[in-house]
Amino acid sequence: MNYSNLFRIAIRALIRNKLRAFLTMLGIIIGVASVIAMLAIGEGSKQKMRGQISSMGTNMVMVMPNFQRRGGVSLGASSSMALKYTDVIALRNEAVDVGAVSPEIRASGQIIYSNKNTQTTIYGVSEEYLSIRKLEVLSGRVFNANETRSMAKVCILGQTVVENLFGKGADPVGLSIRIKNLPFLVIGVLKDKGESGMGQDQDDLILAPYTTVQRRLAAIDYINGIYASALSEEKSPAAIVEVEEILRRTHKLKESTENDFRVMSQSELLKTITSITDIMTYLLGAIAGISLLVGGIGIMNIMFVSVTERTREIGLRMSIGGRGKDIMKQFLAESIILSILGGVMGVVFGYLLARLAGSLMSSQAIVKTQSVVLAFIVCFVIGVFFGWYPARKAANLNPIDALRYE
Amino acid sequence: MNTIIEIRNLRKDYHVGEVTVHALRGIDLKITEGEFVAIMGASGSGKSTMLNILGCLDKPTAGDYLLDGINVSSMEKDAIARLRNQKLGFVFQAYNLLARTTALENVELPLFYNPKVRARDRREAAIRALEAVGLTDRMHHMPNQLSGGQQQRVAIARSLVNDPVLILADEPTGNLDTRTSFEIMELFQNLNEKGRTIVYVTHEPDIAKFATRNVMFRDGKIYRESIVTERLNAKEILETLPVEVIEEFD
């Protein structure tokens, strides 16, 4: 029997039981749809996080003091003071793979404008900080070298701070606000950046010259961190090594001593987050895969019922010349058609589900071609695998017994 | 005349638990082309076993069975299936039509298993077979829209469609009323006149009288063989019967 005949016979047999065929497919449809949707949501959130992290600058290199703990006791105070402004100068002068370098000093406090107030973090930085962190000025300007030298009380506001103090969309450039009771002149407003990949508001900040924050607000002589940018994303591993060498030298650390600082790069962070979201995606996919397996067992169950119910039909087909292998092929074809058709519907349904979920979660759901191809292969395998045993049972029936079956 | 069936010392034993049942105890039978044979006997006489073996649905325990010159006893399973497809046509007491499948598609079914028939000739062959049984106007009806007699005609068309050398019928009139039984026998007699070899099983002596030869089975042996002397003509009988008003469902 040739294959077009085979599939015609199988399709006719399925059409005779439309409702049952559909219910059988439902297991596969739900299984495939959930796999496709889960993978698409996972892929979508991965891409979203990736985008957000790259928007922070993929060539960014961060230096933080290393908070050492010994036997559970934090040696925080002394080690958190490890970084000094001289480190920034050393990096600026000596590091070859590093472009811009900026210190970061954090202070938090109450900000007041007329009868409104808010709590936020004030970042003391140099002008390069904006290019390193990919921040842009929406209106006004960035502080200049003169203002830095003179510890001028000028600041640049993030959008959330603007919203809290002045209302949405206001332009407070030229107005004066009070930070920890000191009057500061607003010289610029930053462009909106939205939430970070980890759900942090990236607009809730104030930038000011590092000298101003260090002396007037925080009153410390060390710095909280250094932000630098490698010359390119590819050079960031080299930049990390270089930064480490330079800082060990300026900190006069002996061979045996551990670093009193930590160097991290955004590309490393990206890798970590990508691997985490990958694991999430596979986990979701695996759970959805279980429902696909259950769908496959559903097919096997129905094929068994079908073989029993159609025993007389099998007997008749044998009596008019159907060979065991023809019967077997017919039942296999039926289960493959069921699973592939279920797969097609599942892909469509899963795609719609992914789009719906994507719009609800305000992240795009991306259906990759690979997952669609994979779904079809899995469906075909399920059709063959779970159809095989019932089909063999049908093929091995004795024609007389099958004909007499009541 | 060609010999269609030649059976020599054929035996069939069944093992039911530890008991061996001798269903057939040495049968010798010869059927030539163009014969119309009725196999008769009480239940348990071995006539159904005989028909199953003739139809290559069952294998004999011992003895030879030559169908159209081919020794079936020594054949492979798949080759026997081809034999059933191309040399034999089956008609069952319960019609055994596929439900929710039109008469035409039911008749086409054996052609799907025949590699010699091309797809485009299939429909035409099925229509010709339905013409032969006089059912062209019911081609697209489902079995449940047909009367018993019509369903049996579809089954006969199905048995004819591969142009077999032999048609085997197992109690073909067993589920039908008298008039419809005669109609089916009329159809068989017509086919026989056109040269078809037909073997059927029946336990009704009346129905056996339409054949040319009767073979009587008893206890797994042929008890009596006889040429039918007062052969009945189904067409003539039907003309004498009062015409019933048959309600048609359309």
Cβ contact, residue pair A320, B52, below 8 Å = no
Nearest-angstrom CA–CA distance, B36 and B16: 34
Pair type for strands B70-71 and B19-32: unpaired
Chain A interface mutation, best of B57, B123, B151, B168, highest count of A Cβ atoms under 10 Å: B57
Range ranked top by mean pLDDT from A50-54, A100-104, B119-123, B237-241: A100-104
A-B C-beta contacts closer than 8 Å = 68
pLDDT tens across A206-240, in order?
Answer: 999 999 999 999 888 899 999 998 888 788 888 88
Residue B127 scores a pLDDT above 80: yes
Question: What is the rounded average pLDDT of the residues A290-308?
Answer: 86
Cβ contact, residue pair A400, B57, below 8 Å = yes
pLDDT tens across A96-119, in order?
Answer: 888 899 999 999 889 999 889 999
A340 vs A293, A302, A380, A384, CA distance in Å? 14, 16, 6, 11
Closest CA to A336 of A2, A14, A5, A62: A14
* Residues of chain A contacting B92 with CB distance shorter than 8 Å: 316, 403
Q: Is A81 on the interface with B (CB under 8 A)?
A: no
Nearest-angstrom CA–CA distance, A5 and A262: 70
Distance of CA B232 to the CA centre of its chain: 19
pLDDT tens across B9-36, in order?
Answer: 999 998 888 899 999 999 999 999 999 9
Q: Kindly provide the ipTM of the predicted complex, given to two decimals.
A: 0.91
Percentage of residues in chain A having pLDDT higher than 70:
95
Nearest-angstrom CA–CA distance, B144 and B151: 9
Cβ contact, residue pair A320, B90, below 8 Å = yes
> Tell me, what's the pLDDT at B154?
96
Question: What is the rounded average pLDDT of the residues A329-337?
Answer: 90
Q: Which residues lie below 8 Å from residue A73, measured CB to CB, with a gap of 6+?
A: none
Reported as a pLDDT band with limits 50, 70 and 90, residue A95 is confident
Q: What is the mean pLDDT of chain A?
A: 86
pLDDT tens across B146-163, in order?
Answer: 999 999 999 999 999 999
Closest CA to A40 of A349, A267, A296: A349
Q: Which residues lie below 8 Å from residue A170, measured CB to CB, with a gap of 6+?
A: A162
Cβ contact, residue pair B57, A16, below 8 Å = no
Cβ contact, residue pair B81, A4, below 8 Å = no
Dig out the tokens for A384 from the structure: 């063959």
Side-chain-side CA neighbours of residue A137 (13 Å): 17
Side-chain-side CA neighbours of residue A387 (13 Å): 22
Question: What is the rounded average pLDDT of the residues A149-160?
Answer: 92
Of the partner residues A12, A318, A321, the one whose CB lies closest to the CB of residue B101: A12
Residue B96 scores a pLDDT above 60: yes
Map residue B241 onto helix, strand or coil: coil
Percentage of residues in chain A having pLDDT higher than 90:
27
> Tell me, what's the pLDDT at A251?
87
> Tell me, what's the pLDDT at B245?
57
Question: What is the rounded average pLDDT of the residues A18-46?
Answer: 87
> Tell me, what's the pLDDT at B246?
56
Instruction: Give the closest-approach CA distance of B98 to chain A in angstroms.
Output: 7
Dig out the tokens for B72 from the structure: 């079936």
Give the start-to-end residue ranges of the domains of chain A.
Answer: 3-52+272-404, 83-259
Closest residue of B to A316, CA-based?
B96
Give the start-to-end residue ranges of the domains of chain B.
Answer: 34-56+75-240
Question: Which CATH fold would you assign to the domain B34-56+75-240?
Answer: Rossmann fold (3.40.50)
